[in-house]
Structure 1
């Protein structure tokens, strides 16, 4: 059996590389198990069945300074990847990579947009703790707050970040801690962010940097904005719906800032269909409200899948380089995403509005794949949160997490299925810009989820006074979160609200819980 990553072009051998691709930012650490973890990790080794055909079994102690490569796909839903059960062939390279990796089936993020999440990734703190939740307030991560990058640099790593998202900008104080940062979005006209921020622009220089620094102990972050709207770039990504004949201009982004219920409209064929009213950024002379027929929604999803497929091709090229350069024996790889997106559930599209209506699993359930050359491939079903990623990697590398990190290493879940989280939590606040044409008041949203129940509490604060709301979903009976049973399950609501309250109290944010 080949223990390598096979791209669309050919198979490569990865004898013992740890490639951590996280569709966001988290990687770059060497793997040196602590004595406390050595026995756990040994259980994952398979000396009787070599990882690579005709090769010796991987020895976790043979390589003391593992590199880390972290790939963030930013806006990619877990359920749109083949490894997570998607029917379309969107991710052939990532799926092959998953066959050699730890696949975390229940990884969850903490908010529905990138800035608060990526700061949580770097700091292992919840958004309410690090408080970077609004671009408009010019936030910055204090230098006194340690990040994953700081730990790596202290331990002799050369660090680099190739990023394509304004929320990865150095001005926020996270990526700026890398030795080298390539940032075409924030060094260009922001009106063209969707052109500059894709892997087409960040991956080639990242691969060149990899070739030049292959003999060093390094951490490399590669991030792309490919799967974020608009979904019309690059050309040729409509292979999943080539017969579309609609009139929607998909070079624009479309959102719903309030739930939209389908209305009946007569199509050109004379049939009445359910139509959604979506909004786009208004320009001079434009009507920013657009009617989406079922075929338009279908095509939007197809374009999104095409963007995922395109991103997967760039990931495949990187995987080839790692094997070709012989880095597979000493590299950890992570693939991850900051959050997902909405395509009509509950009348919501994208993640418009001040966070509300966006804390469903479509958005919060993320892909997380970690490859370690000395650890057998495995599916991990226990809950893992974004704040757990950095502690997990540091644990794998034998490095100590800073005291300010609140996440937990997932290694107990990997080695013996021990749960590290009974619940996963999400929570953030949002204050819109004064120039926002769609909404002008702040909001707070929090959620708690276990294996059976998902509870969401929201507060919006217009000038007329705050409005609170609650949703409860029985995930065993309703995994798609379609039926709110809060009114029918008051005891469960009480329990879940208590869970949220205790969580918020534990991080000093009890005032953020809506009064329900």
Structure 2
């Protein structure tokens, strides 16, 4: 058995040809999709990067494994504690690669800098070979492909291997070499991205909205600065030309990566192993390209960020079919266990969908819960045609506490219909509570890491940024947002006294004087 797993960072299914995109961004991916099973409602349980890959590798929701953010306590997995054996659970088949190694007797190989990028070294657990491409996730395809081709040339004809490769080109800042050109300069933009939509988006606030596509890490604010090393990536989007720069930059990243995938597939053909090779193509998360008014980021627990591509070509199994059931990426572990004929580990949270691959049978979930605690603190429920999003910290975007979108009518999440669909919101909250009760029971821990994030000052990519951002809003004529931002986030201003507290303080002071 030989397995190739392609983890294509920040790749949205909405921008792949095989998922219906009007631009020819992914001919090599599309060819694999035509030979396998394409999943259309496949989600990460936890976004963005580190929470998603940790959930995939551990087989557990972030609420259970503990890693839901990019900093603070929630930037690390929970300790196993007193029950930890000489070898921890990730070694004993609890992680994706360790299970393949132990139960499938596969040589597990990783080509990725990811663990170093986020100091998530549990990501390495179970890999026999680790090839770090050395640029902390700032790689372009020309840095990754030679390493992968070298391994393929030396090892592809051996039996029983699992090769996991990370590509990064769809991640901001867009980095396809300028000499590559722009294959899409004559192609229209997605139809829904109109001037009216852009005008609405220009009224929004928060990181990675059209006025602030950049984060200034030194001065702790959001701005519209550009960098000469990344000419494809704009600092803001003020007109349709700017919007085209943004969309074309993303699509060029996908197409450039796809051409490099074609080179890998050609190498595997030359080695004579392509026909019986199992290929899985997915991502850690999607990318908002206008959903919720956010561009070029994976900052929310919504359809744009949390919906993934998933394509599985398994020779001898179903070919050329589409599965529309709801699945989570952590369902892959019990699926692999069933396909290998091994046991499913009791502490995994996934549900096998092997029957889809074997028989084309429907076996999805009734609903899925997805979370985001790095840019915002949100939990969402995806069920039937709906996605319900509940915000605990809005990341300074001024999102409504409750958002509800009918994805069959509004797939780009532009119209919040929560107020007119309270019954649907109540159903979603029931699912959310049911899930939360089950997760807390299974975790054996009284700590929900989302609330740890809140207690420690909020999401990592928002923490400490509001003061600088308020200054920018005032300097750019958008100071009318400031009062509401301060009202929602008083903990960012400990020096400010709430008006009600000021009244009490004055009364106490008066009595003391009396």
State if a TM-score over 0.5 links the two structures.
yes
Partner of 1:411: 354
2:437 is the alignment partner of 1:505: yes
Check if 1:469 corresponds to 2:401.
yes
Distance 1:462 1:446, change over 3 A: closer
Q: Residues 461 and 445 (structure 1 numbering): CA distance in 2 closer, same or farther, change over 3 Å?
A: closer
Secondary structure of residue in 1 paired with 2:391? strand
Deviation at 1:473, TM superposition (A): 1.4
Q: Which residue of 2 aligns with 1:493?
A: 425
Q: 1:279 to 1:208 in 2, by over 3 A?
A: closer
1:292-371 correspondence runs (5 A) = 292-293=237-238, 294-351=240-297, 355=299, 358-371=300-313
CA distance in 1, matches of 2:257, 2:406: 34
Q: Quick check: 98-107 or 340-349, which moved more?
A: 340-349
| Map of 2:378 onto structure 1 | 445
Structure having the higher helix fraction is 2
Q: Is the 8 A contact 1:162 1:203 kept in 2?
A: no
**Aligned residue in 2 for 1:135:** 70
Q: Deviation at 1:279?
A: 4.0
Cα distance, 1:241 vs. partner? 4.8
Q: Does 1:420 align with 2:420?
A: no
Q: Secondary structure at the match of 1:381?
A: strand
Alignment CA distance shift 1:417-1:309 (3 Å): same
* Contact 1:107 1:366 survives alignment (8 Å): yes
**Matched residues in 2 for 1:284 and 1:482: separation?**
33
1:144 aligns with 2:89: yes
SS at match of 1:79: helix
The answer for unaligned runs of 5 or more in structure 1 is 1-65, 245-258, 265-274, 433-442
2:153 is equivalent to residue 153 of structure 1: no
Per the normalisation by structure 2, the TM-score is 0.71
Match status 1:216 vs 2:123: no
Does the Cα contact within 8 Å between 2:99 and 2:126 map onto a contact in 1? no
Distance 1:480 1:455 in 2: 14
1:276 matched residue in structure 2: 210
- Counterpart for residue 262 of structure 1: 202
Question: Paired residue for 1:79, among 14, 32, 36?
Answer: 14
Post-superposition Cα deviations, 1:260-305, rounded to whole Å, max 9, x if no partner, equal 84269xxxxxxxxxx9311423388999335422211211111110
Maintained 8 Å contact 1:169/1:183: no
- 1: CA distance between counterparts of 2:54 and 2:371? 13
Q: Distance in 2 between matches of 1:129 and 1:284?
A: 33
CA distance in 1, matches of 2:258, 2:78: 31
| 3-state SS, counterpart of residue 335 of structure 1 | strand
Cα offset, 1:243, TM superposition: 8.1
Per-residue deviation, residues 392-439 of structure 1 (Å, max 9, x unmatched): 222222222211111111123442532330112201434x8xxxxxxx
Partner of residue 118, structure 1: 53
In the alignment, the residues of structure 2 paired with residue 320 and residue 239 of structure 1 have an alpha-carbon distance, to the nearest angstrom, of: 24
Q: Is the 8 A contact 2:210 2:236 kept in 1?
A: yes
The structure-2 alpha-carbon separation of the partners of 1:284 and 1:134, relative to structure 1 and needing over 3 Å to count, comes to closer
What is the CA-CA distance between 1:323 and the residue it aligns to? 2.1
Instruction: Please list the CA deviations of residues 222-276 of structure 1 after superposition, one character each: whole Å capped at 9, or x if unmatched.
Output: 11111101113322344145489xxxxxxxxxxxxxx984269xxxxxxxxxx93
Change (3 A) 1:110 1:234: farther
Following superposition, the deviation at residue 140 of structure 1 comes to: 4.5
Q: Give the paired residue count.
A: 402
How well do the aligned residues superpose, as a CA RMSD in angstroms?
3.2
TM-score, normalised with respect to structure 1:
0.71
Structure scoring higher RCO (CA < 8 A, sep ≥ 6) equals 1
